[in-house]
Amino acid sequence: MSKGLVHIYTGDGKGKTTAALGLALRAAGQGLRVIVIQFLKGDSDCGEHKFTLKHQPFEVVQFTEGNCFTLPPEQLRNDVEKTMDFIAETMASGRYQMIILDEIFIAIKRGLLDTSRVIDLIRNKPDSVELVLTGRNAPPEIMELADYVTEMQMKKHPYTNGIKGRKGIEY
């Protein structure tokens, strides 16, 4: 890769994390070193965690433990700060050619992360890094900086009919 680009997967439809993980798998298959850094997920029972622990195609890292919908805002803010510090170290290390920031826009939407910090992150990204950001409600000013913007739009989802998330499909 001569210059890494910036991807955004956003929107209210299913598939943002799934698309990013597919891209991670493709990149790892071509020999790129990949890391997925998750914001506010807090669930190591997700399929991507189990798969990466077993097969080690790339790393998945998260700092939130527990249900992010019930944890106090102070703890979430602390987790987001730890995550941002880790991202800065990871980018500076030169170790990864693809860095995926999964659900980063949720941290912005919940008031735990300022948009300007993400803009600075994108602007200061090393040329060697392909950067992927996911989550609902990507701010327009961040989308403007990206090279790829894909918006998943929900037309129909079983959740609206009372069907809860299913293991292996939604997590």
Question: Does residue 116 lie within any of the structural domains?
Answer: yes
Query: How much is the pLDDT for 42?
Result: 67
Question: Does residue 94 lie within any of the structural domains?
Answer: yes
Question: What is the average pLDDT across 30-50?
Answer: 87
Percent of the chain scoring above 90 in pLDDT: 71
Q: pTM, whole model, 2 decimals?
A: 0.90
How far apart CA 46 and CA 12 sit, in angstroms, is 20
Q: pLDDT tens-digit profile of 121-170?
A: 999 999 999 999 999 999 999 999 999 999 999 888 887 888 888 777 77
Number of domains in the chain: 1
Q: What is the CATH number of the domain that holds 108?
A: 3.40.50.300
The mean of the pLDDT values for the chain is: 92
Question: Does residue 48 lie within any of the structural domains?
Answer: yes
Question: Does residue 68 lie within any of the structural domains?
Answer: yes
Is 25 a residue whose pLDDT tops 90?
yes
CB environment 60-91: b (16+ within 10 A), e (fewer): bebbbeeebeebeeeebeebbeebbeebeebb
- Structural domain boundaries enclosing 135: 6-17+29-161
Question: Does residue 22 lie within any of the structural domains?
Answer: no
Question: Does residue 133 lie within any of the structural domains?
Answer: yes
Question: Does residue 168 lie within any of the structural domains?
Answer: no
Question: Does residue 121 lie within any of the structural domains?
Answer: yes
Q: Mind giving me the DSSP string for 144-156?
A: HH-SEEEE---S-
Query: How much is the pLDDT for 160?
Result: 81
